[in-house]
Amino acid sequence: MHKSFLTFIFTVVMIGVFASLAHGAMRESAYQNEWCGEREGQVEYVLQDRARVDCLLPEYAVEVDFDNKWAEAIGQALYYAAMTGKKPAVLLIVGHNQERYLARFQRAAAGLGITLFLIEE
φ, ψ dihedrals at 43, nearest 5°: -80, 140
Contact 113, 89 (CB under 8 A): no
> Which residues face 60 on adjacent strands?
87
pTM: 0.78
Across the chain, how many H-helices and E-strands are there?
A: 4, 5
| pLDDT-derived band at 3, boundaries 50, 70, 90 | low
Q: Binning pLDDT at 50, 70 and 90, where does residue 6 land? A: low
Contact partners, residue 87, CB within 8 Å, separation at least 6: 59, 60, 61, 81, 113, 115
List, for residues 24-77, the tens digit of each pLDDT value.
Answer: 555 899 999 999 999 999 999 999 999 999 999 999 999 999 999 999 999 999
